[in-house]
């Protein structure tokens, strides 16, 4: 059987505590005044040193080791109390602790000189521990500490109780002490209480660190959650603001273009009248002027019509319907039958075009505009070849309309989607510059996006990304 050697056990326990104390010294070094480990790391080191010295008592002069061991243990308990008080939210004043330690030290010195009896010194020191015992119970009663805090308090209770008990025994004198406690029992109780409390102290420190980390993480998560909520709020606010100002702008464009038409009609009518009735009275220059004015008025009228048309898109407010894209394309092709035949175009439509949720007339218009452009913007003598295909991509449909036309330079591609923007000479290709802006408005009002890329071998590919309703929440 392995024999239990008390001094060795105590020295080992002390070394262990010193090592653990050194491990826990992070908060102590960090300089945070009220960091719990600022108290418990030195407390564990002092406690460990005290236990080691008790274990080594036999090999040192008794007087020296008693002084040092007790001073070290009391210092440890003192710091432990302070740490617990901080942790449970009753920060003690440093003055109070400095006074307690100074009192202990002076009393100890006095006893050392006045009364060299080691027993009496133990009695004094241990009696002072009753002070800490009272403090422990006061803290337990006054506060509702965390789990780690309670663990620490229940560690302090037996330690201080033991010191107080030792005071009683030492005070009662060796004879009574021997009568009360059998030989070696005090040592056994000593090692049991001190080692148990040391283990609990370390466990509590670990627990405390975990609590601190968890609290820090929770606080960080809370901050992140608040930031995210705030961002979502800002986005919602901005989106609402944007749609309000968009709606106002569209309303304004609609009203302005509508109202502008009336005076414009008058200008055109009177210009027409002058042209018809007084053309002969004008010289050549005057007739040219009238022609220019009439052309301008007609152009302005068609621009206003286009603007009115544009501002009406997405205004239907009708509930969205299921729109089979294949059918919308077929209807657009039927509308353009003459143009397709005249151009000799070849149009390939993939059979697997999806069904989306949308406004059927607008989807038809989208494909009709794209088809018109693809038929129109080809080099002279080239037969248009158009392909419409589709693929599924991350919860969305990507529909491509590819042609073999004159193409759009990459650097001006985005500009072509703006209203009245054109990339070709009017004399070569007729147009108003509204088609692609209508396409974009239709796609965006369906929650999608549209852009153009150069097609392989020349020409353009218009990409339309539309949300796949099957992937959206039903609301």
Contact residues for ligand ADP (CB under 6 A)? 373-374, 377, 403, 405-408, 416, 421-424, 431-437, 460
Helix (H, G, I), strand (E, B) or coil at 319: coil
* Minimum CB–partner distance for residue 434 and ligand ADP (Å): 6
Per-position b or e across 151-164, b if 16+ CB within 10 A of its CB: bbbebbbbbbbbbb
Beta carbon nearer to ligand ADP, 69 or 406: 406
* Minimum CB–partner distance for residue 335 and ligand ADP (Å): 16
Beta carbon nearer to ligand ADP, 57 or 422: 422
Residues making up the chain, counted from first to last: 475
Interstrand relation of 355-358 and 396-402 (parallel, antiparallel or unpaired) = unpaired
* Rounded-to-integer distance, Cα 364 and Cα 372, Å: 12
Beta carbon nearer to ligand ADP, 20 or 345: 345
Beta carbon nearer to ligand ADP, 209 or 453: 453
Beta carbon nearer to ligand ADP, 155 or 374: 374
Interstrand relation of 346-349 and 385-393 (parallel, antiparallel or unpaired) = parallel
User: Among 70, 92, 72, 69, which Cα is nearest to 21's?
Assistant: 72
- For 22, 88, 147, 216, 232, the CA distances from 219, given in Å and listed in that order, are 28, 19, 19, 5, 20
Beta carbon nearer to ligand ADP, 190 or 437: 437
* Minimum CB–partner distance for residue 450 and ligand ADP (Å): 12
Torsion on CA atoms 286, 287, 293, 298, rounded to nearest 10: 170
Beta carbon nearer to ligand ADP, 186 or 424: 424
Q: 244-250, long-range: CB within 8 Å, 24+ apart, which pairs? A: 250/311, 250/315
* Minimum CB–partner distance for residue 258 and ligand ADP (Å): 22
* Minimum CB–partner distance for residue 355 and ligand ADP (Å): 25
* Rounded-to-integer distance, Cα 62 and Cα 72, Å: 15
Helix (H, G, I), strand (E, B) or coil at 313: coil
Torsion on CA atoms 310, 312, 318, 322, rounded to nearest 10: -20
Beta carbon nearer to ligand ADP, 53 or 378: 378
User: Among 183, 140, 181, which Cα is nearest to 160's?
Assistant: 140
Which sign, positive or negative, has the C-alpha torsion 99, 100, 102, 106?
positive
* Minimum CB–partner distance for residue 407 and ligand ADP (Å): 6
* Minimum CB–partner distance for residue 415 and ligand ADP (Å): 9
Beta carbon nearer to ligand ADP, 77 or 386: 386
* Minimum CB–partner distance for residue 447 and ligand ADP (Å): 22
* Minimum CB–partner distance for residue 463 and ligand ADP (Å): 13
Q: Residues 207, 151: contact at Cβ < 8 Å? A: yes
Describe the crossing of helices 94-114 and 118-142 by its angle, rounded to 10 degrees.
Answer: 160
């Amino acid at each position: 059987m392995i024999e239990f050697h008390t001094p060795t056990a105590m020295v080992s326990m002390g070394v262990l505590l010193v090592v653990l104390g050194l491990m826990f010294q992070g908060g102590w070094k960090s300089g945070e005044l009220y960091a719990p480990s600022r108290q418990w790391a030195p407390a564990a080191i002092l406690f460990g040193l005290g236990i080691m010295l008790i274990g080594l008592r036999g090999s040192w002069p008794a007087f020296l080791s008693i002084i040092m061991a007790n001073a070290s243990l009391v210092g440890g308990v003192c710091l432990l109390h302070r740490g617990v008080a901080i942790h449970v939210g009753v920060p003690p004043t440093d003055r109070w602790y400095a006074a307690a330690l100074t009192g202990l030290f002076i009393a100890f010195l006095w006893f050392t000189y006045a009364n060299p009896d080691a027993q009496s010194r133990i009695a004094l020191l241990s009696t002072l521990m009753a002070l800490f015992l009272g403090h422990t119970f006061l803290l337990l009663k006054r506060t509702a500490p965390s789990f780690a805090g309670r663990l620490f308090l229940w560690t302090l209770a037996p330690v201080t109780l033991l010191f107080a008990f030792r005071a009683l025994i030492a005070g009662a004198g060796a004879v009574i002490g021997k009568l009360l406690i059998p030989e070696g029992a005090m040592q056994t109780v000593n090692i049991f209480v001190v080692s148990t409390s040391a283990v609990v102290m370390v466990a509590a420190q670990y627990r405390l660190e975990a609590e601190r980390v968890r609290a820090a993480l929770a606080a960080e998560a809370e901050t992140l959650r608040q930031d995210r909520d705030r961002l979502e709020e800002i986005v919602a606010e901005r989106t609402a603001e944007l749609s309000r100002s968009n709606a106002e702008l569209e309303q304004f464009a609609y009203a302005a273009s509508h109202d502008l038409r009336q005076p414009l009609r008058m200008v055109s009518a009177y210009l027409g009248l002058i042209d018809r009735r007084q053309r002969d009275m004008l010289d050549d220059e005057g007739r040219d002027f009238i022609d220019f004015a009439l052309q301008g008025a007609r152009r302005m009228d068609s621009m206003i019509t286009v603007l009115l048309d544009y501002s009406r898109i997405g205004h239907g407010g009708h509930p969205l319907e299921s729109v089979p894209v294949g059918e919308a394309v077929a209807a657009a092709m039927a509308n353009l039958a003459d143009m397709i035949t005249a151009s000799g175009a070849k149009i390939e439509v993939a059979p697997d075009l999806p069904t989306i949720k949308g406004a059927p007339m607008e989807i038809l218009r989208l494909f009709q505009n794209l088809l018109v452009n693809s038929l129109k913007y080809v080099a002279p003598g080239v037969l248009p070849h158009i392909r419409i295909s589709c693929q599924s991509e991350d919860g969305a449909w990507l529909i491509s309309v590819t042609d073999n036309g004159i193409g759009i330079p990459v650097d001006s591609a985005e500009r072509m989607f703006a209203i009245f923007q054109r990339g070709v000479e009017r004399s070569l290709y007729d147009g108003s510059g509204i088609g692609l802006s209508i396409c974009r408005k239709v796609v965006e009002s369906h929650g999608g996006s549209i852009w153009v890329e150069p097609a392989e071998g020349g020409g353009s590919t218009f990409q339309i990304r539309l949300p796949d309703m099957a992937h959206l929440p039903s609301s």
